[in-house]
Amino acid sequence: MTQTQQQPVLRVIDLQVTYYTDSGRVRALDGASFTLNPVEKMGLVGESGSGKSTMALAMMRMIKPPGRIEGGKVIVDDVDLTQLSDSDMRKARLSRISYIPQGAMNSLNPVLRIEAQMRDAIKAHVPEMSGSEVQQRIGEALESVDLNRNVARMYPHELSGGMKQRVCIAIGILLKPKLIIADEPTSALDVVTQRQVMETLDRVQKQLGAAIILIGHDMGLMAQFVDKVAVMYAGRLTEISTVKQMFTTPMHPYAIALIDSLPTLENKGVFKGIPGLAPALLRLPPGCAFHPRCPFAMDICRTEVPALEEKAGRLVSCHLYDKNGNRVHQPGEAVLQR
Amino acid sequence: MAPLIEFRNVTKTYTKGLLSRTATTALDDVSLQLDEAHPTIMTVAGESGSGKTTLAMLLLGFIPPSTGTILYKGKDISRMSNEERVTFRKEVQAVFQDPFAVFNPFYTVDHLLSVPIEKFKLAKSKGEARNQMEEALNAVGLRPEDILGRFPHQLSGGQRQRINVARALLLKPKLIVADEPVSMVDASLRATILESLRKLNRDYGISIIYITHDLTTAFHVANSIIVLYRGSVMEAGNVDRVIKEPQHPYTRLLIDSIPWPDLNRKWGQTEIIAREQVYGQVERGCKFTSRCPFVMDKCRQAPPPLYKINEDRVATCYLYDQQPTIAREKLSEMLPV
Amino acid sequence: MSATITSPAAGAPAVPAPFQQPPRRVLVARYLRRNKSLGVGIAIVIFLTLFTIIGSVTIDTAKKAYPLAVKTKQPPSAQFPLGTDWYGRDLLAAMVRGLWQTAVIGFLAGAAATALGVVLGFISAYYGGAVDKTITGICQVLQPIPPFLIQVIIAGSIDKRSVTIYTMALIVFLLSWMGPTLVIRAQVLSMKERMFVNVAKLSGMTNLEIIFKELLPNLLPFIAASFVSAVFGAIFASFGLSVLGLGPMREPLIGNIIYYSLQQSAFFNGWWWWPLWPMLTLILIFSALTLINIGMDEIANPRVRRTE
């Protein structure tokens, strides 16, 4: 990890979330740890069910029963969110750390004007703010996302998809948080609108000096937008690299396969999927969860879960690499047993 | 021989309410055709509001055109006899976008495959039907023992979508309309599904109309492309060239806004102008005028005709008014197969 | 991670034993234990059902539930566990029989209302057009009329002697079919736009086949819920009518027993047991309905669920 003089704005240490379902216990998040510096953008990628949204919800302490945060810390600007009381956490939400959920634009209340909804958001977290200041914040937020101030008086159905999503971003930055988590903010949008929204997010982030975690599964979007990429698989972080490292020299076999499978303009007609299926979290294989699909799997992979360690300038959890980041063996070597 | 499927000057408009005069044109005088002798994969690309979903619904006969005709093997589909209709239904199939919504949650996934076998009398016995189902599942890379007898919610999105492709395969249609078949599937599984579609075209001679907004997948799967914007054709031609060297300003904007997973190809080459669409305006000219960085006066007067850029490319843009024009009806002649 | 460490067999990848789901019964029992409302509600219904069934089989209700069968005005004792009333009814027999009849009215009226609702709702929603507008129009006009009012008028104008439990069921049914119709129509309207209906059309199914084979099975839970609520609604409607003395007077319906006990000022005369049992029964039925509703709410709305 790059060392910076600044204090990291976010430190997640060993976060664990378990769901207690009728069919058994599910480890949705198994010891996630990472840090984020101010004005840094991190992408969190993984397949559906890999734990990305769970991570976001856990950081916001919005995990509902039958799920529970089993352990770990989420430290934003020296405040450990996991230790806060419920009412303090409420204040922290939206003002320290804000979350733009997936499908947010479809969750706008259809019968309230935009400004009423934004006012609600502020009141829910900082009830003591004066009416005039609330109005001012609303106007500022809308302008930051490049929307006309009179959008505040409109209803959601009068806005296009891109505009609604930008309203959601505006709601997310009302209280000038230090950390913004955007969960698939552009998944339902067209390519051109998507670009607009992402450029807006970029600008907003620079204005606020905040850090952003972008959750998604579109690696292309990550390449365009983030500084570093974290790849999740079956509830664990497999690799966290800078965006350059991830796209040129990925280390974890899952990340390698992911980058390999990306369609580019060069190799027409060459389709490279990742064989096999992601495991159901109820039935995780022992050891490293990826070993059944891994071309480099070794004996130790079947029994021991690899730890997330720093190797070759990034964090990776894989037995394949020794302390210096060199591969212990190549795929196809005799050492393999499948 | 009559072409397999033909759109002749098809327009579809939706009016609001009984007496209202505001009408939205979903599709504006679009003509295209596919030949049975040259099975091909054609992409219809566009963003939301472009008319591509309307096109899909028209192709499948779910909605009637407002003007113009749709012909299947030379017969107008709104005037087919019952027998011809049954053949049409059998030979034109679809793969839809949402892998979950196509399943009736009450039944196992077998139901999706067994109903068409039964209705179109593809098998004479239960055993034969079962064989056909297994064969189709194998052809798309699924193991029948993992799939048959399960409920849709027990399977992953990628599996479900492959079952949809298997269903299309079962019926050995002549044409498959694939409406955003991979947009709701995880990125890592898209490759396998697209490969199955290509296999259907290559090995079984099935023509595919691949409708999408994702030009990267279109590039990999299709031979030719038609780019739609608000119901009109903006550009069309060989898919490689259109995507690598877009000529129409709209296509350029589209290609430039694609988030390429390539650090050397970042956004920002073209500027996005007039961010918000001003809807509801009746436009006499080119549909793209309000957002076009190259807009000229004549663009607002009348919509540009199809200009032939080279032997497999057309664009409807006055920037190319030095080039020869082609009648709209002849669009498909410019498309490679 | 709750992973089991298995030593891999040579050459074979280690695969954990397939996860065994506990049998259905256990899962259901676990769920009921957690969802106390539903559990208790169902328990009450089972208790009442057993009470009626066992009672009908063991006691001669045909005779003892009617006047002048036994000694009058007896408090509860070993011979008459629930006591007897002014008219000489063995209250135990009366309760058993009355509960049975109440249930019959409820089921008949409820089933008829639901059945009609299903038929009309489907036709209306699927075919649309003028048919839809007619049916919906009639429902919307009749529904806001307070059914009780009409039922009282009808019941009051019929000759007392021709009111039987079946006519009561009819009266109740006549004014309660509109609700299920509108509600089922709404469900079908939304369901017929779903993609699997389009796919069914593509697969060659006819409209009727789509209605019966694709749409109806999906609506079964919904229809079941409508049915339950229709039955309870009918029970309460019949109770209301009989308390006012508008039901079949001879029968020992729960409402009738209360009616008579009021007529004879049972409480003030010291015959406390007479109105007590019907009131208790009514409270039980009411509670069961409420609890089941709360319990069903949890099933329908997973966000309300709690952990084990």
* pTM reported for the whole predicted model: 0.72
Taking a contact as any Cβ pair under 8 Å apart, which residues of chain A between 66 and 95 contact chain C? 66, 68
Cβ of A285 within 8 Å of Cβ of C30? The answer is: no
Tell me how far apart the alpha carbons of residues A39 and B179 are, in angstroms, rounded to a whole number.
40
Report the pLDDT value the prediction gives residue B17, as an integer from 0 to 100. Answer: 62
Q: Among the residues of chain B, which ranges form H helices?
A: 52-59, 82-91, 110-119, 126-139, 144-147, 157-170, 187-204, 215-221, 239-244, 249-257, 297-301
**Token pair 């037995």: residue:** A319
Chains that touch C (3 or more CB pairs under 8 A): A, B
Q: Has residue A2 got a pLDDT over 60?
A: no
Residues of chain B with Cβ-Cβ distance to C201 below 8 Å are 62
Residue C2 pLDDT class (50, 70, 90 cuts): very low
Cβ of B101 within 8 Å of Cβ of C218? The answer is: no
Tell me how far apart the alpha carbons of residues A253 and A239 are, in angstroms, rounded to a whole number.
10
Q: Which value does ipTM take for this structure?
A: 0.75
Q: Which two tokens stand for residue B66?
A: 């407002």
Report the pLDDT value the prediction gives residue A199, as an integer from 0 to 100. Answer: 87
Q: Mutate which of A22, A25, A298 to disrupt the C interface (most C C-beta within 10 Å)?
A: A22
Which residue in C3, C10, C308 is closest to A284 by CB distance? C3
Q: Which two tokens stand for residue C256?
A: 């009738």
Chain B contacts to A (CB-CB under 8 A): 47-48, 156-159, 186-192, 194-195, 198, 213-217, 219-220, 240, 243-244, 253-254, 257-263, 266-267, 272, 275-277
Average pLDDT over residues C5-22: 43
Nearest CA in chain B to A257: B188
Q: Would you put residue C217 in left (φ > 0), alpha (ψ -120 to 50) or beta?
A: alpha
Cβ of C4 within 8 Å of Cβ of A30? The answer is: no
Residues of chain B with Cβ-Cβ distance to A246 below 8 Å are none
- A230-239 confidence digits (pLDDT tens): 999 988 899 9
Nearest CA in chain C to B114: C203
Report the pLDDT value the prediction gives residue B16, as an integer from 0 to 100. Answer: 66
- C116-134 confidence digits (pLDDT tens): 999 999 888 888 888 999 9
Half-sphere exposure of A223 toward its Cβ, with a 13 Å CA cutoff?
Answer: 20
* A274 in reach of chain B (CB within 8 A): yes
Q: Which two tokens stand for residue B257?
A: 């806004």
Residue ranges in chain B modelled with pLDDT below 70:
1, 16-22, 187-188, 268-283
Q: Mutate which of A18, A68, A303, A305 to disrupt the C interface (most C C-beta within 10 Å)?
A: A303
Q: Which two tokens stand for residue B31?
A: 């003509």
Residues of chain C with Cβ-Cβ distance to A302 below 8 Å are 8, 13-14
Residue C22 pLDDT class (50, 70, 90 cuts): low
Q: Are strands A211-216 and B41-45 parallel, antiparallel or unpaired?
A: unpaired
* C6 in reach of chain A (CB within 8 A): yes
Nearest CA in chain B to A256: B188
Residues of chain B with Cβ-Cβ distance to A198 below 8 Å are 259, 267
Cβ pair B143, B110 in contact under 8 A: no
C8-12, C72-76, C103-107: least confidently modelled range:
C8-12
Tell me how far apart the alpha carbons of residues B47 and B256 are, in angstroms, rounded to a whole number.
14
Q: Are strands B67-72 and B75-76 parallel, antiparallel or unpaired?
A: antiparallel
Provide the shortest C-alpha distance from residue C299 to chain A (in Å).
14
Tell me how far apart the alpha carbons of residues B15 and B300 are, in angstroms, rounded to a whole number.
24
| Exposed e or buried b per residue across B1-26, where buried means at least 16 C-beta atoms within 10 angstroms of its C-beta | eebbbbbbebebeeeeeeeeeeeebb
3-state secondary structure A31-58: EEEEEECCCCEEEEECCCCCCHHHHHHH
* C202 in reach of chain B (CB within 8 A): yes
Report the pLDDT value the prediction gives residue C10, as an integer from 0 to 100. Answer: 39
Average pLDDT over residues A12-21: 89
Tell me how far apart the alpha carbons of residues A314 and C274 are, in angstroms, rounded to a whole number.
83
Q: Would you put residue A46 in left (φ > 0), alpha (ψ -120 to 50) or beta?
A: left
Report the pLDDT value the prediction gives residue C11, as an integer from 0 to 100. Answer: 38
Report the pLDDT value the prediction gives residue A116, as an integer from 0 to 100. Answer: 92
Tell me how far apart the alpha carbons of residues B303 and A224 are, in angstroms, rounded to a whole number.
35
Q: Mutate which of B186, B199, B244, B291 to disrupt the A interface (most A C-beta within 10 Å)?
A: B186
- Closest C-alpha among C95, C96, C75 to residue C86: C75
- Closest C-alpha among C160, C182, C169 to residue C237: C169
* C24 in reach of chain A (CB within 8 A): no
Provide the shortest C-alpha distance from residue A40 to chain C (in Å).
31
- Closest C-alpha among B130, B92, B98, B96 to residue B113: B130
Which residue in C1, C19, C306 is closest to A65 by CB distance? C306
Tell me how far apart the alpha carbons of residues A35 and B193 are, in angstroms, rounded to a whole number.
37
- DSSP letter at C215? I
Let me know if C260 is exposed, middle or buried by CB neighbors in 10 A (0-12, 13-18, 19+).
buried
Report the pLDDT value the prediction gives residue A1, as an integer from 0 to 100. Answer: 45
- Please indicate whether residue C74 or residue B52 has the higher confidence score (pLDDT): B52
Nearest CA in chain B to A267: B220
Let me know if B206 is exposed, middle or buried by CB neighbors in 10 A (0-12, 13-18, 19+).
buried
* A63 in reach of chain B (CB within 8 A): no
Mean pLDDT computed over every residue of chain A: 84
- Dihedral over Cα of B99, B102, B107, B110: its sign: negative
What is the amino acid identity at position A22? D
Provide the shortest C-alpha distance from residue A140 to chain C (in Å).
35
- Please indicate whether residue B262 or residue A299 has the higher confidence score (pLDDT): A299
3-state secondary structure C254-282: HHHHHHHHHHCCCCCCCCCHHHHHHHHHH
Tell me how far apart the alpha carbons of residues C136 and A142 are, in angstroms, rounded to a whole number.
45
* C49 in reach of chain B (CB within 8 A): no
Average pLDDT over residues A303-320: 86
3-state secondary structure chain A: CCCCCCCCCEEEEEEEEEEEECCEEEEEEEEEEEEECCCCEEEEECCCCCCHHHHHHHHCCCCCCCEEEEEEEEEECCEEHHHCCHHHHHHHHHHCEEEECCCHHHHCCCCCCHHHHHHHHHHHHCCCCCHHHHHHHHHHHHHHCCCCHHHHHCCHHHCCHHHHHHHHHHHHHCCCCCEEEEECCCCCCCHHHHHHHHHHHHHHHHHHCCEEEEEECCHHHHHHHCCEEEEEECCEEEEEEEHHHHHHCCCCHHHHHHHHCCCCCCCCCCCCCCCCCCCCHHHCCCCCCCHHHCCCCCHHHHHCCCCCEEECCEEECCCCECCCCCECCCCCCCCCCC
What CA–CA distances, in Å, run from B202 to A240, B82, B199, B237, B329? 41, 31, 5, 20, 28
Tell me how far apart the alpha carbons of residues C303 and A66 are, in angstroms, rounded to a whole number.
10
Cβ of C198 within 8 Å of Cβ of B98? The answer is: no
Nearest CA in chain C to B85: C204
Tell me how far apart the alpha carbons of residues A332 and A296 are, in angstroms, rounded to a whole number.
7
Question: Could you tell me what percent of chain C has a pLDDT over 70?
Answer: 85
Average pLDDT over residues A127-154: 88
Average pLDDT over residues C246-267: 82
Q: Which helix (H) or strand (E) holds C98?
A: helix C91-127
Rg of chain B taking only CA atoms, in angstroms: 21
Q: Which residues, including other chains, have CB under 8 Å from residue B220's CB and lie 6 or more apart?
A: A263, A268, A269, A271, B194
Nearest CA in chain C to A284: C3
Q: Which helix (H) or strand (E) holds B235?
A: strand B232-238
Residue A39 pLDDT class (50, 70, 90 cuts): confident
Highest mean pLDDT among A53-67, C152-166, C265-279: A53-67
- C161-217 confidence digits (pLDDT tens): 667 778 878 888 888 888 889 988 998 888 888 888 888 888 888 888 888 888 888
Chains that touch B (3 or more CB pairs under 8 A): A, C
- What is the largest distance, in Å, between two alpha-carbon atoms of chain C? 90
- What is the largest distance, in Å, between two alpha-carbon atoms of chain B? 68
Question: Could you tell me what percent of chain A has a pLDDT over 90?
Answer: 12
Q: Has residue A336 got a pLDDT over 80?
A: no
Q: Which two tokens stand for residue A30?
A: 């198994």
Residue A271 pLDDT class (50, 70, 90 cuts): low
Which residue in C195, C200, C204 is closest to B96 by CB distance? C195
Tell me how far apart the alpha carbons of residues B326 and C84 are, in angstroms, rounded to a whole number.
99
Q: Has residue C7 got a pLDDT over 50?
A: no
* A261 in reach of chain B (CB within 8 A): yes
Average pLDDT over residues A299-324: 85
Question: Could you tell me what percent of chain A has a pLDDT over 70?
Answer: 92
Residues of chain C with Cβ-Cβ distance to B168 below 8 Å are none
Report the pLDDT value the prediction gives residue C49, as an integer from 0 to 100. Answer: 85
Rg of chain A taking only CA atoms, in angstroms: 21
- A196-229 confidence digits (pLDDT tens): 888 888 888 888 889 999 998 788 888 888 999 9
How many other C-beta atoms can be found within 10 angstroms of the C-beta atom of residue B201?
19
Residues of chain C with Cβ-Cβ distance to A17 below 8 Å are none
Report the pLDDT value the prediction gives residue A266, as an integer from 0 to 100. Answer: 66
What CA–CA distances, in Å, run from B180 to B7, B43, B96, B314, B337? 21, 10, 7, 24, 21
Q: Has residue A42 got a pLDDT over 90?
A: yes
Report the pLDDT value the prediction gives residue A242, as an integer from 0 to 100. Answer: 92
Tell me how far apart the alpha carbons of residues B21 and B282 are, in angstroms, rounded to a whole number.
11
Nearest CA in chain B to A218: B187
| Dihedral of the alpha carbons of B209, B213, B218, B224, in degrees to the nearest 10 | 50
Q: Has residue A275 got a pLDDT over 50?
A: yes
What CA–CA distances, in Å, run from A83 to A2, A91, C142? 28, 14, 58
Report the pLDDT value the prediction gives residue C6, as an integer from 0 to 100. Answer: 34
Cβ pair A223, B260 in contact under 8 A: yes
Residues of chain B with Cβ-Cβ distance to A247 below 8 Å are 261-263
3-state secondary structure A230-289: EEEECCEEEEEEEHHHHHHCCCCHHHHHHHHCCCCCCCCCCCCCCCCCCCCHHHCCCCCC
Tell me how far apart the alpha carbons of residues C184 and C173 are, in angstroms, rounded to a whole number.
17
| Exposed e or buried b per residue across B243-264, where buried means at least 16 C-beta atoms within 10 angstroms of its C-beta | beebbbbbbbbbbbbbbbbeee
